[in-house]
């Protein structure tokens, strides 16, 4: 997966130079397959292990890893969403069939202007191997490259019945994708549907009927976490391997999704303007309780083969996003990142 050095620099103060950074990655975390100079930027092609897709499939995750390894200050982007006083229930209703999505959010934005994205955004897309489309779609793709969470935009005025359902496909249903391919759906396929039928293949590809065009003025913005096994199975069957399906095929973190909705809306507004409804649809089951782990400080040093003080361990765990409480007899109770 490709990552931009200049983009990472937005989130890490005092970055090591590219070659040094590649060495740190390889020694501490994962294999850097190549480093390539592109104009004024440098591109890292990093091989992510399956167990790290959840937190490293975006620039923010990689930047946080640099912070943990190198100790430089981590600069998380600040959400700046603009919202109206009208609740989203005035615009759309949503439902999620059991077993199709771990979490599903919808946001409504009106007054958008669909146009070419700024040159800087197009250059960043080129570095990461993505084709710019228009300001609204590019905002969702930028969010994906930034956070690792795919998002999708629908033209609100093309949604029939003003209802959205995440459900399994029904017998004999078909869907035309945004690139004109007609898919014969099967019962295990998960779709996003309005009152008329499917408008997207969940986690894989959007449909033609509700796609964003230059005439779009109102949009529904989808952010979710879908069943990875179903996404993987359907993507393989229909022959679509997309940036979204690649990420959804690994279990993305549903717990933190809600905190990124404001960031996504802010990107939409920065790229295409508009104002969002007062709130967003957010459907999910209760999350399991985070259970702290007992860490024996001397035993940790024994396993590592290097003596680390309690202070050093606390510093490392804090950089990684863990919360800690001191226990008895040189032990720590460590809660992993959400």
Asked whether residue 122 falls in the same domain as residue 266, the answer is yes
**Residue 60, H or E segment:** helix 59-70
Asked whether residue 97 falls in the same domain as residue 228, the answer is yes
End-to-end CA distance of the chain: 24
Asked whether residue 51 falls in the same domain as residue 197, the answer is no
pLDDT above 90 coverage of the chain, percent: 83
pLDDT above 70 coverage of the chain, percent: 100
**Which CATH number goes with the domain that contains 21?**
3.30.56.10
Asked whether residue 125 falls in the same domain as residue 251, the answer is yes
Average pLDDT, the chain: 94
Contact of 60 with 146, CB cutoff 8 Å: yes
In 3-state terms the chain splits into helix, strand, coil percentages (rounded to 5) of: 35, 25, 40
Contact of 155 with 210, CB cutoff 8 Å: yes
**Which CATH number goes with the domain that contains 183?**
3.50.40.10
Over range 320-334, report the average pLDDT: 91
Return the pLDDT at 273: 97
Asked whether residue 28 falls in the same domain as residue 114, the answer is no
Over range 231-243, report the average pLDDT: 93
Asked whether residue 107 falls in the same domain as residue 201, the answer is yes
Over range 53-73, report the average pLDDT: 92
Asked whether residue 158 falls in the same domain as residue 246, the answer is yes
Asked whether residue 232 falls in the same domain as residue 320, the answer is no
Considering 244, 261, 284, which residue would you say is the last residue of a domain? 284
Considering 70, 99, 124, which residue would you say is the last residue of a domain? 70
Per residue in 219-233, pLDDT (tens digit) is 999 999 999 999 999
Return the pLDDT at 217: 99
Considering 38, 70, 102, which residue would you say is the last residue of a domain? 70
Over range 7-18, report the average pLDDT: 94
Banded model confidence at residue 50, pLDDT cuts 50, 70, 90: confident
- Calpha distance 101→149 (Å, rounded): 14
Asked whether residue 195 falls in the same domain as residue 315, the answer is no
Write the CB contacts of 281 (distance below 8 Å, at least 6 apart in sequence): 88, 92, 94, 104, 105, 106, 107, 164
Return the pLDDT at 52: 86
Task: Please say whether the dihedral angle defined by the alpha carbons of residues 211, 168, 285 and 293, taken in this order, is positive or negative.
Answer: negative
- Calpha distance 117→136 (Å, rounded): 8
Asked whether residue 125 falls in the same domain as residue 217, the answer is yes
Residue 65 in domain? yes
Contact of 26 with 41, CB cutoff 8 Å: no
Asked whether residue 235 falls in the same domain as residue 154, the answer is yes
Asked whether residue 123 falls in the same domain as residue 174, the answer is yes
Residue 144 in domain? yes
Residue 194 in domain? yes
Residue 80 in domain? no
Residue 79 in domain? no
Tell me if the pTM is above 0.75. yes
Domain of residue 41, residue span: 2-70
Tell me how many helices (H) and strands (E) the chain has: 11, 18
- Calpha distance 26→28 (Å, rounded): 6
- Calpha distance 51→62 (Å, rounded): 14
Residue 77 in domain? no
Q: How many domains does the chain have?
A: 3
């Amino acid at each position: 997966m490709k990552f931009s050095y200049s983009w990472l620099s937005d989130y890490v103060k005092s970055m090591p130079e590219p070659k040094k950074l590649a060495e740190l990655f390889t020694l501490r975390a994962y294999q850097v397959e190549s480093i390539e100079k592109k104009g004024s930027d440098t591109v890292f092609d990093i091989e992510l292990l399956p167990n790290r897709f959840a937190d490293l499939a975006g620039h923010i995750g990689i930047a946080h890893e640099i912070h943990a390894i190198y100790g430089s200050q981590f600069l998380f982007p600040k959400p700046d969403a603009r919202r109206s006083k009208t609740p989203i229930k005035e615009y759309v209703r949503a439902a999620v069939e059991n077993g199709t999505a771990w979490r599903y959010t919808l946001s409504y934005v009106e007054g958008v202007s669909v146009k070419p994205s700024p040159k800087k955004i197009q250059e960043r897309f080129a570095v990461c191997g993505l084709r710019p489309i228009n300001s609204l779609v590019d905002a969702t793709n930028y969010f994906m490259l930034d956070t690792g969470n795919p998002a999708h935009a629908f033209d609100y005025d093309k949604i029939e019945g003003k209802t959205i359902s995440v459900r399994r496909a029904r017998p004999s249903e078909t869907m035309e994708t945004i690139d004109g391919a007609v898919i014969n759906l099967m019962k295990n396929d998960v779709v996003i549907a309005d009152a008329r039928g499917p408008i997207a293949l969940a986690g894989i590809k959007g449909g033609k009927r509700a796609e964003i065009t230059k005439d779009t003025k109102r949009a529904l913005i989808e952010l979710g976490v879908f069943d990875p096994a179903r996404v993987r199975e359907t993507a393989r069957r229909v022959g679509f391997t997309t940036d979204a399906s690649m990420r959804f095929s690994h279990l993305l973190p549903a717990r933190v999704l809600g905190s990124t909705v404001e960031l996504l809306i802010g990107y939409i507004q920065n790229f295409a303007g508009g104002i969002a409804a007062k709130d967003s649809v957010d459907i999910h089951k209760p999350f399991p309780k985070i259970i702290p782990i007992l860490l024996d400080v001397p035993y940790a040093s024994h396993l590592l083969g290097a003596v680390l003080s309690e202070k050093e361990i606390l510093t490392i765990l804090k950089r990684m996003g863990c919360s800690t409480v001191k226990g008895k007899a040189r032990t720590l109770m460590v809660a992993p990142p959400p």
